[in-house]
Chain A
Amino acid sequence: MASITPHFPILCVVIPLFGALLCATIRNSRATWLLAVCSALCSFLCAVFLLMHANDRVVSYAIGGWQSPIGIEYRIDSFNAYVLCLISGIGCLSVLYAPSAISEVSSFNRPWFFSVMLLCMTGLMGMAATGDAFNLFVFMEIASLSSYVLIALGKQREALVAAYRYLIVGTMGATFYVIGIGFLYVSTGTLNIADLTVRIAPIKTTAPVLTGISFLIVGLSIKAAIFPLHAWLPNAYRFAPIPVSAFLSGTATKVALYILLRFIFSVLGVQFFLGTFGLYEVIVTFSLGAILFGSIVAIFQKNLRRMLAYSSIAQVGYITLGIALANENSLTGSLIYIVGHGLTKVGLFFVAGSLLARLGSDHIADLAGAGRRMPWTVGSFIFLSLNMLGIPGTIGFLGKWYIALAAAERGSWWLAVIIIMTSLLALIYMGRFIESAYFSSCSDEKIKSQANSIPWNMGLSLAILTGLCIWLGIDTAILTDKARAAALLLLGANL
Chain B
Amino acid sequence: MTGNQVLLQLNYWLIIMIMMMGFYVVLAHSNMIKKLIGLGIFQTSVYFLYVVPGKIIGGTAPIIASGYQVYSNPLPHVLILTAIVVGVATLALGLALVTRINEAYGTIEENDLYRPDEWRQ
Interchain CB contact under 8 A, A152 and B86? no
Name the residue among A138, A161, A164, A178 with the largest chain B CB count within 10 angstroms: A164
Interface residues of A in 176-197 (CB under 8 A from B): 178-179, 182, 185-186
Given A186-B53, A363-B121, do A160 and B83 touch, yes or no (CB 8 Å)? Answer: no
Q: Is the CB of B83 within 8 A of A171?
A: no
A157 with B94: CB separation less than 8 A: no
Verify if A302 is at the interface (C-beta below 8 Å from B): yes
Is there an interface contact between A161 and B43, defined as CB atoms closer than 8 Å? no
Please provide the chain A residues from 157 to 183 with a CB less than 8 Å away from any CB of chain B in the complex.
157-158, 160-161, 163-164, 167-168, 171-172, 175, 178-179, 182
B90/A141 in contact, CB under 8 A: yes
Q: Confirm or deny: A303 has a beta carbon within 8 angstroms of a beta carbon on chain B.
A: yes
Task: Please determine whether B90 and A179 come into contact, CB atoms closer than 8 angstroms.
Answer: no
Render B84-121 as a binary contact track against A, CB cut-off 8 A, 1 for contact. Answer: 00100110011001101100110000100100001111
Nearest B residue to A141 by beta-carbon distance? B86
Contact A302 B121 (CB under 8 A): yes
Given contacts A145-B89, A145-B90, A171-B90, contact A235 B119 (CB under 8 A): yes
CB of B26 within 8 Å of the partner chain: yes
Interchain CB contact (< 8 A) of A149 among B43, B50, B93: B93
Given known A167-B93, A175-B43, A179-B46, contact A302–B120 (CB-CB < 8 A): yes
B120 engages A161 (CB within 8 Å): no
In this assembly, does B18 line the interface, its C-beta being within 8 Å of a C-beta of chain A?
Answer: no
B101 contacts A175, C-beta separation under 8 Å: no
Q: Which of B53, B82, B97, B121 contacts A163 (CB 8 A)?
A: B97
For the complex formed, measure the closest distance between the CB of A176 and the CB atoms of chain B, giving whole angstroms: 9
Number of interface residues of A (CB under 8 A): 29
Report the Cα distance A210→B104, complex, angstroms: 45
Complex alpha-carbon distance, A161 and B79, angstroms: 31
Do residues B104 and A164 form an inter-chain contact, with CB atoms below 8 A?
no
A152 close to B100 (CB less than 8 A): yes
Contact of B32 among A149, A152, A164, A363 (CB under 8 A): A164
Known: A160-B100, A161-B101. 15 other contacts (CB 8 A): A134-B79, A137-B83, A138-B86, A145-B89, A145-B90, A149-B93, A158-B119, A160-B97, A160-B104, A161-B113, A168-B36, A168-B39, A175-B43, A182-B50, A185-B76
Q: Give me the interface of B with A, judged by CB distance under 8 Å.
A: 26, 32, 35-36, 39, 42-43, 46, 49-50, 53, 76, 79, 82-83, 86, 89-90, 93-94, 97-98, 100-101, 104-105, 110, 113, 118-121
* 30 residue pairs from A and B, CB less than 8 Å apart: A138-B82, A141-B86, A152-B97, A157-B101, A157-B104, A157-B105, A161-B113, A163-B97, A164-B32, A164-B97, A167-B90, A167-B93, A168-B26, A168-B35, A171-B90, A172-B26, A175-B42, A175-B43, A175-B46, A178-B46, A178-B83, A179-B46, A179-B49, A185-B50, A185-B76, A186-B53, A302-B120, A302-B121, A306-B121, A363-B121
